[in-house]
A = this chain, B = another copy of it.
């Protein structure tokens, strides 16, 4: 059996494998926006996500952010620490349950959030512009389903 016959195994092609396509599209689409929060605010992706959740939902605990965004608690813990060091958020022990920390953005954090949001919105529009409005709507719907969101 030649190498080339092996290549024709099944009727399956990596180029069509959904997890592969999803990963490629995710990497590619994240790259450009990543430059913004990285260069402008020195943030990592997890930090941007934590910032976003706090900006979007207001006061949250680390646990809640982790559950909503499916981020592991150690990543959250380190992201919160860095965001706190850079004065983008502050934490305070909950009175009700002293294990819990309530996280909120500082004014600087809110400003960064607003700035990044507006850039994200622009960037999203640019990506969405590759397709018709109906197609983009369907894409988001399918991605939410695949990502178990909503």
Contacts and interface: CB of A to CB of B under 8 A. Distances in A.
Interface of A: 3-4, 6-7, 9-10, 12-30, 33, 49, 52-53, 55-59, 70, 104-105, 110, 113-114, 117-118, 120-121, 123-124, 127-128, 130-131, 135, 138-140, 142-150
A70 B27 contact: yes
A56 B13 contact: yes
Nearest to A57: B7
Query: For the complex formed by this chain, how many copies does it contain in all?
Result: 2
Given A7-B57, A19-B123, A135-B142, 13 more contacts: A3-B105, A10-B121, A12-B118, A15-B144, A18-B29, A18-B127, A19-B30, A19-B33, A19-B127, A28-B148, A29-B146, A138-B138, A139-B139
A21 B130 CA distance: 16
Nearest to A21: B143
Contacts of A25: 22, 26, 142-144, 146-147
